[in-house]
Structure 1
Amino acid sequence: MTQPNTQIPDFQSIMLPMLNLLESGEVFTLNQVVTKLAEHFHLSKEDLKIKVPSGQMGLFRNRVGWTRSYLKKAGLIHYPERAKYQITPFGKDYLKGKPKDLRIKHLKKMPDYIEWTKTFNQDTNNKQEAEITKEIESQTPEEVLASTVDQLNKQLATDLLDKLKENSFGYFENFVIELLQKMGYGEFREDAAERTGQTGDNGIDGIISQDRLGLENVYIQAKRFRDGHVGSPDIRNFIGSLALQGVNKGVFLTTSRFSESAIKTASDSKQQKIILIDGKQLANLAIEYNLGVQVDKTIAIKKIDLDYFEE
Structure 2
Amino acid sequence: MSDLKNDIPDFQTIMLPMLKLLQDGRQWTLNEVMRALTAHFNLTEEHLKIQVPSKQMGLFRNRVGWTRSYLKKAGLIQYPDRGVYQITEEGKQFLANNPPKLRMKQLEQFPKYKEWRQTFNSGNTKEKQATRTEEQTPEEVLASTVEELRNELATELLDKLKENSFQYFEKFVIQLLQRMGYGEFREDSTQHTGQAGDQGIDGIISQDRLGLENVYIQAKRFSNNSVGSPEIRNFIGSLALQGVNKGVFLTTSRFSSSAIQTALDSKQQKIVLIDGKELTELAIEFNLGVQIADTIDIKKIDLDYFEE
TM-score category, normalised to shorter length: over 0.9
For the 8 Å contact 1:254–1:277, the answer to whether it is kept is yes
Runs (5+) with no aligned partner, structure 1? none
- Partner of residue 202 from structure 1, selected from 199, 202, 225: 199
Residue 213 of structure 2: aligned partner = 216
Residue 300 of structure 1: aligned partner = 297
Q: Deviations over 1:167-218 (max 9, x none)?
A: 1111100000000000000025321110111111111100111122111111
- How far residue 55 of structure 1 moved from its aligned partner, in angstroms, is 1.9
Runs (5+) with no aligned partner, structure 2? none
- How far residue 132 of structure 1 moved from its aligned partner, in angstroms, is 4.5
Q: Which amino acid aligns with 1:180?
A: L
- Partner of residue 242 from structure 1, selected from 235, 239, 242: 239
For the 8 Å contact 1:188–1:212, the answer to whether it is kept is no
Residue 251 of structure 2: aligned partner = 254
Taking structure 1 as the reference length, what is the TM-score of the superposition? 0.94
Q: Deviations over 1:247-296 (max 9, x none)?
A: 11110001111111111111111111111101111011111101011111
Residue 29 of structure 1: aligned partner = 29
Pairwise mapping of residues 61-80 of structure 1 onto structure 2 (< 5 A)? 61-80=61-80
Residue 96 of structure 1: aligned partner = 96
Q: Deviations over 1:215-242 (max 9, x none)?
A: 1111100000112211111111111111
Structure number having the greater helix percentage = 2
Residue 232 of structure 1: aligned partner = 229
- For 2:230 and 2:178, how far apart are their aligned partners in 1? 28
Residue 19 of structure 2: aligned partner = 19
Pairwise mapping of residues 1-311 of structure 1 onto structure 2 (< 5 A)? 5-123=5-123, 129=127, 132-187=129-184, 189-311=186-308
Q: Which amino acid aligns with 1:14?
A: I
Give the SS at the match of 1:294: coil
- How far residue 136 of structure 1 moved from its aligned partner, in angstroms, is 2.5
Q: Which amino acid aligns with 1:242?
A: L
- How far residue 5 of structure 1 moved from its aligned partner, in angstroms, is 2.1
- How far residue 88 of structure 1 moved from its aligned partner, in angstroms, is 1.2
- How far residue 244 of structure 1 moved from its aligned partner, in angstroms, is 1.1
For the 8 Å contact 2:179–2:185, the answer to whether it is kept is no
Give the SS at the match of 1:253: strand
- How far residue 105 of structure 1 moved from its aligned partner, in angstroms, is 1.5
155-164 or 111-120, which moves further after superposition?
Answer: 111-120
- How far residue 2 of structure 1 moved from its aligned partner, in angstroms, is 5.2
Give the SS at the match of 2:172: helix
Taking structure 2 as the reference length, what is the TM-score of the superposition? 0.95
Give the SS at the match of 2:225: coil
Identity %: 70
Note the aligned Cα RMSD (angstroms): 1.8
- For 2:185 and 2:36, how far apart are their aligned partners in 1? 54
- For 2:101 and 2:17, how far apart are their aligned partners in 1? 9
132-141 or 292-301, which moves further after superposition?
Answer: 132-141
- For 2:71 and 2:131, how far apart are their aligned partners in 1? 25
Structure 1's 101 and 242: CA in aligned 2 closer, same or farther, altered over 3 A? Answer: same
- How far residue 135 of structure 1 moved from its aligned partner, in angstroms, is 2.0
- How far residue 310 of structure 1 moved from its aligned partner, in angstroms, is 2.6
- How far residue 63 of structure 1 moved from its aligned partner, in angstroms, is 0.5
* Aligned residue-pair number: 308
Q: Deviations over 1:64-107 (max 9, x none)?
A: 00000000111111111111111112211221111111112221
Give the SS at the match of 1:221: strand
Q: Which amino acid aligns with 1:293?
A: V
- How far residue 118 of structure 1 moved from its aligned partner, in angstroms, is 2.3
